[in-house]
Amino acid sequence: MIRATKIGKIGRGRILCVIALLVWIAACHKQPVQPVVPAPPAAAPPEAPRTPPLPVPNEWPELPLPPPLLLAPPEPPVPRSFRDGKASFQKGKYDEAIRQLEKYVREDPTLQFKDEALFTLGMAHALACPQAECRTRAATQFRRLVSLFPKSPYSPEATFILSLQYEVEKTKTELKTTDEKLKRLTDELERLKKIDLERQPARIKK
């Protein structure tokens, strides 16, 4: 009797355990399942600057062609009259040099050698003769050179020669004036001497 009671108690205990387990399982099924919220994605690191891909040999940009070289035009030949005039001047043949250079200055339309021609022409006139007429002709050519070609390398030399000629003419003028004054003084002295000589006999008689 006692054993049956023990068995009954054990059976009831197991039944209670099973019922409690079923109740707990049912309770678990009734609770709402919390949704799993995914974590926000991490911020992506900044991208490194992309270097443009190198072009393949067939895609290199075309470089512009260099401008064509501008060749200087050939210098015109030296006119014969100018060449002959310079040669005559170097040989001391000033009259022939004047004739050839005047022909070149008068007939040749180019200006390449004209400043040199005017300077040589002025020098030839100055050396051709010592008379004032030759110096005047030389000064005319030097003034033409300075007026027409102020930036020529011959212009400073022509200006210097003109200044020397001016000083020479000024000195000659001053000397001429001095000579005239000396002549007047001499004439006056001679006149006074003559007057004094005429007075001497009268004084002697007294």
pLDDT at 99: 95
Minimum mean pLDDT range among 57-61, 120-124, 158-162:
57-61
> pTM of this prediction?
0.52
CA 73, 74, 79, 84 torsion-angle sign: positive
**Residue of higher predicted confidence among 169 and 16:** 169
pLDDT greater than 50 at residue 135: yes
Percent of the chain with pLDDT over 90: 28
Mean pLDDT of the chain: 75
The CATH code for residues 80-197 is: 1.25.40.10
pLDDT tens-digit readout, 66-88: 676 666 667 778 889 999 999 99
State phi, psi for 65 to the nearest 5 degrees.
-75, 140
**pLDDT at res. 1:** 45
Going from the C-alpha of 65 to that of each of 62, 69, 72, the distances in angstroms are 9, 12, 21
Range with the largest mean pLDDT of 97-101, 125-129, 161-165, 201-205: 97-101
| Window from 92-96, 106-110, 166-170, 181-185 with minimum mean pLDDT | 181-185
Could you please report the per-residue DSSP string of 40-60? Answer: PPPPPPPPPPPPPPPPPGGGP
